[in-house]
Structure 1
Amino acid sequence: MSLVNYAEFKLSITKALGDQLAADLEKLTPVSLTSTNLAMLPSVAGVYQLYQEHEDGRKLVYIGKADGSLPQRLTKHLKKLRGRVGVDLEKVTFTALSVEEDFQAVLPEKLLIAKHQGIGEAPWNNNGFGINDPGVKRDTTVFGLDHFDQLYPANLDWVIEGLPVGECSLYDLVWAVKDGLPYVFRFARQQHEKTYAGITVSLGSSSATADELFRIISAALPDPWQITALPGYVVMYPTRAESESARKYYRQGEVIHPS
């Protein structure tokens, strides 16, 4: 029997907060993800959303948070996207919202992610778009075709400027390449100085592509050192181990494509 004078009331604070965050972000106009626009943001904590412009309209692709500085966090995303094949930065935009310190405890970006992924948006979340080094354990992981690194692989044709012309140490070149790439280039640091001590290389230009430099570096390295280009980053180790997800191997100056 139903009662006309009784009902149950359920209050979802998290849903209410998520809806309010989404509504306030919806009021904002996305602008291009550029250094100029990021420099205009205050250095405060907050949440942000990235969008991609498509033929059928603008799509929300990623939701994130900045615990310390919105422009600093978004600059890291800008750097990563610059080095990816298939990403047109002119079609990447963002909005941002400052969040009071005591609000961080409720993980505002998770509220937004839950809301938007529930309607099929924010595909880059939980899909490999993070800006941190994925770690050695991920080097042999095989990802699906919809993973971010598979959709937008690291650009091996990325041009690095300001290289030392003429003879230089392999040690200095490896670090120049690492510092000049917008994606991870990881190598065995503990064996770094010992292996490269006394090895020199010669460069004929102050600029070169990552692919060209990986050939030069691998040609100077003794066996069994190998450079492996994975979908989203590059690693260099003293081993000829193969990976199912490798795009290319650089061995003693030669490029080997996985069979």
Structure 2
Amino acid sequence: MQPRMAFCNRCRGMRVGCNKRYVLHRILCKQWLGDSSRLGSLAVLTAVLFVAFPEPNASVLSTQRPEEPVQEPSFQTTVMSVGPAVHSVEAFLTNHGVGQANCTRLASSIVNSARKYNLDSRLIASIIIVESRGNPFAISDRDAIGVMQIHLPTWGYAADREGINLFKIEDNIDFGARILKNYISQFGVWEGVKRYNGFFAEDSTSEQSAQDYVQKVQRLYEFQPAPFPNPISSKENEVSRNLFPYGR
């Protein structure tokens, strides 16, 4: 919308509204000072002008100190420490066919969740590549969704109760990492990865599928024998129970 303009032979052109030039025009050129009843209005308007349009003198300027920039050392420290790890995971994802559109966001979420749950970020990234190639909207025929293919019949209730959006990259990776940590704490690393894929010891038909899945993850991860300790202390069991207060 174009501003309204006014013209005065004395004041020339000006914008209509609450601005210094227009208010002075109304005071001086419209003869508001014609009777004593309007002197109060003049005083009020003059005060408003001084408040709204202050013009500090040289002495005021000389005593003012320039505003110092706000420093956030803790945030900068976090960025510096996380940065190289994020770049490393991002390169790993890119080298294995994950699209550029969400690669940085995926890498950042992987690193944050890995640190939160004390997991290897490369392991999480390997699982994501096998599960979805980093597609946040992936949906399988087994009703698993998102980048880490969270299985809705198993985990949907917990996700809904906690207000987790499984199509959001950060939420999906954090929840998936929590599930993975739970299984690893109970069964060890690669047995935990098998459970993440849906393996149940009571179901012999799931053994071959789960084993194939683990091998795919290991090939990406460049698995070497026994890099991790196998299960589990009673303390780890307690941590595992705390990860999912609502159960499976």
Higher helix share goes to which structure?
2
TM-score range with shorter-chain normalisation?
Answer: under 0.3
Q: Taking CA–CA contacts closer than 8 Å with sequence separation of 6 or more, which of the two structures ends up with the larger relative contact order?
A: 1
Higher strand share goes to which structure?
1
Normalising by structure 1, we get a TM-score of 0.26
Normalising by structure 2, we get a TM-score of 0.27
